[in-house]
Amino acid sequence: MTLRLSKRVQRVALSANAAAKSRATELREAGHDILDLTTGEPDFDTPKHIKQAAYTAIAAGATKYTPTLGVKALRGAVQRKLRRENHLDYPLPSIVIANGAKQIIFNAFAATLDEGDEVLVPTPYWPSFPDSVRFNGGEPVFIECGLAQGCKLTAEQLEQHIGERTRWLILNGPGNPSGAVYSALELQAIAEVLRRHPQVLILLDELYEHIRFDGQAAQSLLNVAPDLQTRCLLVGGVSKTYAMTGWRIGFGAGPRVLTDAMAVVQSQSTSGASSVGQAAALAAFDGGLDFLSEQVAAYQLRRDLLVNTLRDVDGLDVLEPQGGFFVFVRCAGLLGRYRPDGARLASDADVVAYLLEEGVAGVAGSAYGLSPWFRLSIATSTDSVAEAGRRIARACAQLRGAA
Rounded to 5 degrees, φ, ψ at 142 are: -90, 140
Query: Domain holding 329: CATH number?
Result: 3.90.1150.10
* Domain shared by 219 and 247, yes or no: yes
* Domain shared by 143 and 276, yes or no: yes
Name the DSSP class of 262: H
Closest by Cα among 79, 116, 17, 380 to 259: 79
Is residue 288 within 8 A of residue 49, CB to CB? The reply is: no
In a domain, 2, yes or no: no
CA 252 to chain centre: 15
* Domain shared by 344 and 202, yes or no: no
In a domain, 262, yes or no: yes
* Domain shared by 19 and 102, yes or no: no
Write out 139-180 in H/E/C secondary structure.
EEEEEECCHHHCCCCCHHHHHHHCCCCEEEEEEECCCCCCCC
* Domain shared by 228 and 159, yes or no: yes
Is residue 292 within 8 A of residue 85, CB to CB? The reply is: no
Last residue of a domain, one of 227, 259, 286: 286
Residues 6+ apart with CB under 8 A from 93: 69, 256, 259, 260
* Domain shared by 20 and 123, yes or no: no
Tell me the residue length of the chain.
403
- Round to the nearest angstrom and report the end-to-end CA distance of the chain: 51
Count of domains forming the chain? 2
Last residue of a domain, one of 231, 261, 286: 286
Last residue of a domain, one of 241, 271, 286: 286
Please give the Cα distance from 22 to 48 (Å, whole number).
29
Is residue 68 within 8 A of residue 271, CB to CB? The reply is: yes
Is residue 252 within 8 A of residue 260, CB to CB? The reply is: no
In a domain, 1, yes or no: no
Residues 6+ apart with CB under 8 A from 286: 77, 80
Angle, helix 275-286 to helix 48-59, in steps of 10 degrees: 140
The residues of the chain scoring below 70 in pLDDT are 403
Give the DSSP H/E element, type plus range, for residue 49: helix 48-59
Please give the Cα distance from 367 to 17 (Å, whole number).
8
* Domain shared by 31 and 81, yes or no: no
In a domain, 403, yes or no: no
Closest by Cα among 140, 220, 146 to 186: 220
Please give the Cα distance from 278 to 35 (Å, whole number).
33
Using only the alpha carbons of the chain, give its radius of gyration: 21
Helix/strand/coil for 344:
strand
Q: What is the pLDDT of residue 101?
A: 98
List the domain range (segments joined by +) for residue 11. 7-45+292-397
Q: What is the pLDDT of residue 160?
A: 98
* Domain shared by 266 and 297, yes or no: no
Query: Domain holding 203: CATH number?
Result: 3.40.640.10
Q: What is the pLDDT of residue 1?
A: 72
* Domain shared by 187 and 250, yes or no: yes
Closest by Cα among 129, 324, 125 to 241: 324
CA angle 385, 390, 393 (to 5 degrees): 125
In a domain, 370, yes or no: yes
Residues 6+ apart with CB under 8 A from 105: 128, 129, 132, 203, 205, 235
* Domain shared by 154 and 15, yes or no: no
Please give the Cα distance from 386 to 310 (Å, whole number).
10
Q: What is the pLDDT of residue 14?
A: 80
pTM of the prediction?
A: 0.96
* Domain shared by 178 and 34, yes or no: no
In a domain, 369, yes or no: yes
Please give the Cα distance from 96 to 74 (Å, whole number).
10
Q: What is the pLDDT of residue 294?
A: 96
Q: What is the pLDDT of residue 199?
A: 97
CA 228 to chain centre: 23
Please give the Cα distance from 325 to 236 (Å, whole number).
16
* Domain shared by 193 and 304, yes or no: no
Q: What is the pLDDT of residue 153?
A: 98
